[in-house]
Structure 1
Amino acid sequence: MKSKNWYKKQLKRKPVQITRYVVQAVFLLFLLYVGIRFYKFYMHFETLGETSFVERPAAVEGFLPISALMALKVWLATGDFDVIHPAGLVLLSFFVGGAIIFRRSFCSWICPVGTISEWISRLGKKLFKRNFEVPTWLVWLLTPIKYLLLLFFLGMVIVMPTYGAIAFLNEPYNKISDIKMLTFFLDISGFGLGFLIVMVMLSLFFRNFWCRFLCPYGAFIGLGSIYRISKLRRNEKTCTNCEMCTKVCPSRIKVHKVETVNNLNCTACMACVEACPVKDTLNMTVANKKVSKWFIPVSFFVAFFLIIGYAKLTGHWETIISYEEWKILIPEANNID
């Protein structure tokens, strides 16, 4: 059992990382709460009113990236904001657009898949005393996969005419896409279960395997940081080449080998900054100006809650689908394709 003094030392040595772990756990619990409420909402209609009604949590729309992509296309083309799954469009737009400054903060701070992947990797490190490295040649082969997946989804949306995207948003299938997602996991196929088991096993051996090589959502958010307004800079004159920054990087970026970290996989977790033993050798910069290691995460969450608050106040958060429409759609969900 680790002593209280050990935890105090850890908090003093790497306060951002300890805070990040706490925030990850809080958001995971929050999303679990959202999932339970959504299940109760679903069961009310599935049982034809035999269970009590629970309001549908709009946050569940954060798990509908295809619908949000379609809605984004329509919004950019016509100026009409999606009223079917508005929260999904708000979240996608913020995570991708905000990455211009915040990089992939979503991935390292609140993404439930990223959080679970990190926890599994830590478990693997405890079991095997280390996380294994993916061979360089295999990294080159695996890295394009998430971008190819992203290209597939983006291409599908871009090629579709605007009127087709509008029609899709208003179709019954899109309206219950969140229900479809829920029933997929409630009655998961053998292939789906096998895929999840493989991802868990790979994450035990290789740190953040899914996030680094397969996640198209993370790849899309990463594109938002391509302008590189915020970046990590390493002072080569004071660097001791201890490689601590590289060792702690969840994305396995070779931080110690570059002067500026421009890698799109950087999640702004600040682990490397806190691991560096030499003061002012590794710093986050915004518009080429040095900022506190707290600047990116704090600014990200301030903007995150302000955007959600504004969306709620302006009526861009809750769906317009009525109770009566849910009453018709949900019992027929399995028949809607």
Structure 2
Amino acid sequence: MKKTNFRLIVQSLFLAFVLAAVFIFREHAEAWCPFGGVETIYTYAKTGKMVCSLAVSNIYILISVLLLTLLLRRVFCGYACPIGAISTLLRKGAAKIGIKQIHVTGKVDRVLRLLKYVVLAVILYVTWTHSELYFRTADPCYALISRHGEDITFFAYIVLGLIILVSLFIMMPFCRWFCPLAAVMNPISRFGFSKIKRDTDVCIDCGKCSKICPMEIDVANVKTVNDASCMSCGDCIEGCPVKDKGALKLNFIRTIPRPRIVAVIVMIALFAGAVLAVNFFDIPSYIHVHDDPQGHGELETLEMNVTGVNCNGSAMLFVFFLERDDIYELPGYFKVEAWPHPDTARVKIHYDTEKADETMIYEAVTEAYYDPIDERWRVSPFQIEGYDPLMLE
């Protein structure tokens, strides 16, 4: 394996893993998008409810990515991001068939780099105001990792197609200029502990490091790369004609040997930490408090697996059925905790055993309800695993 191909291989493996998880194993990949953590963290802190379709795993993976950024700058963009992988692979492929790269540098590049902060501000304002992922309809990453249902529009595919087209001529255009997650990482990356350092006594001033940098950073004219967009990808180091003499090094307190391998190991370790956190600290992504349990009888918690609770909105409908006022009215319940999921969601209901029992809860969830406000019957969309109302007789 040539060292110059190492990053491309890692990117391809990460991309293949994501696509296999979505299209072969039918996993809910959106729950592991780090930008989902950015979109939902304010709403969750304020209300105890996630933005629709997101989960606590989004926050955990966001934390791991931000820690990774603090350690190795925007290495996530250079190795793990599916959009970054597609863009890099396309540009490399285009170069092999003779398509020349368009280099966008100087003032034009600096102005374009500001656009990602505008994109971030608009997305967060709308998302935090309405608690809905309105920009999912134009999200190129969601067009890639979604299950391609009704919640995605043709416009998202158009945006993804434009990124693919431009990537044939410009290296990583979305990552450099438009990505809102990059706007979140940049302030942390600027103070990242690792830095590319250039030894001016060894450097032969060929300028190849600047030409090869995917982010168009002028490495050849600085002693230390402090640019926030640096991905610590190591392309400049590997492409240096005098790399064996140490003209360029990745430093973290001291020089890091085999920087690309170290970067991937650290990245995988932090991602594994996020997965472990979900399993060992799996807090609910939807919390609704109905009443104060103090002064009531013995409390019990009923945990069940429910289909139909696939996002924040359907979790609210679930609560609506619990708070009905007909013959299936449920007295004495205090709190609902839910882990919405496109397939089967886990739900916990805390209730007073002197006023309610499991059967009453099952009936409240699954029986049709007449809505006097809308003057219509609402058929329950929820099914409880292991419960069949016909078996009660």
Q: TM-score, normalised by structure 1?
A: 0.72
Q: How far apart are the structure 2 equivalents of 1:252 and 1:327?
A: 42
What's 2:38 paired with?
69
Q: How far apart are the structure 2 equivalents of 1:295 and 1:317?
A: 34
Q: How far apart are the structure 1 equivalents of 2:79 and 2:165?
A: 23
Q: Check whether the contact 1:103–1:267 (CA below 8 A) recurs between aligned residues.
A: yes
The one-letter amino acid paired with 2:187 is L
The one-letter amino acid paired with 2:153 is I
Q: How far apart are the structure 1 equivalents of 2:191 and 2:74?
A: 13
- Cα distance change, pair 309–109 in 1 and its aligned pair in 2 (3 A): same
The one-letter amino acid paired with 2:191 is Y
Matches within 5 A, 1:96-175: 96-134=66-104, 136-154=106-124, 168=131
What's 1:226 paired with?
190
What's 2:308 paired with?
325
Larger CA deviation: 297-306 vs 180-189: 180-189
Q: Check whether the contact 1:34–1:60 (CA below 8 A) recurs between aligned residues.
A: no
Give the count of matched residue pairs.
285
The one-letter amino acid paired with 1:89 is I
Matches within 5 A, 1:299-314: 299-314=266-281
Larger CA deviation: 296-305 vs 318-327: 318-327
Residue 76 of structure 1, CA deviation? 6.2
**Alignment match of 1:248 (pick from 212, 215, 231):** 212
- Cα distance change, pair 187–74 in 1 and its aligned pair in 2 (3 A): closer
Residue 69 of structure 1, CA deviation? 2.2
Q: How far apart are the structure 2 equivalents of 1:211 and 1:125?
A: 19
- Cα distance change, pair 327–196 in 1 and its aligned pair in 2 (3 A): closer
Q: TM-score, normalised by structure 2?
A: 0.62
Matches within 5 A, 1:1-337: 11=2, 14=3, 17-37=4-24, 57-63=27-33, 65=35, 67-73=36-42, 85-134=55-104, 136-154=106-124, 168=131, 182-183=147-148, 188-189=153-154, 191-278=155-242, 279-287=245-253, 289-292=254-257, 293=259, 294-315=261-282, 322-326=305-309, 329=314
Q: Check whether the contact 2:240–2:248 (CA below 8 A) recurs between aligned residues.
A: yes
Residue 321 of structure 1, CA deviation? 9.6
Q: How far apart are the structure 1 equivalents of 2:283 and 2:248?
A: 40
- Cα distance change, pair 70–203 in 1 and its aligned pair in 2 (3 A): closer
Q: How far apart are the structure 1 equivalents of 2:284 and 2:187?
A: 25
The one-letter amino acid paired with 1:29 is A
Q: Which has the higher contact order (CA 8 A, sep 6+)?
A: 1
* Structure 2: runs of 5 or more not aligned: 287-302, 315-341, 344-393
Residue 186 of structure 1, CA deviation? 8.0
The one-letter amino acid paired with 1:325 is G
What's 2:293 paired with?
none
RMSD: 3.7
Q: How far apart are the structure 1 equivalents of 2:225 and 2:284?
A: 35
Q: How far apart are the structure 2 equivalents of 1:321 and 1:97?
A: 35
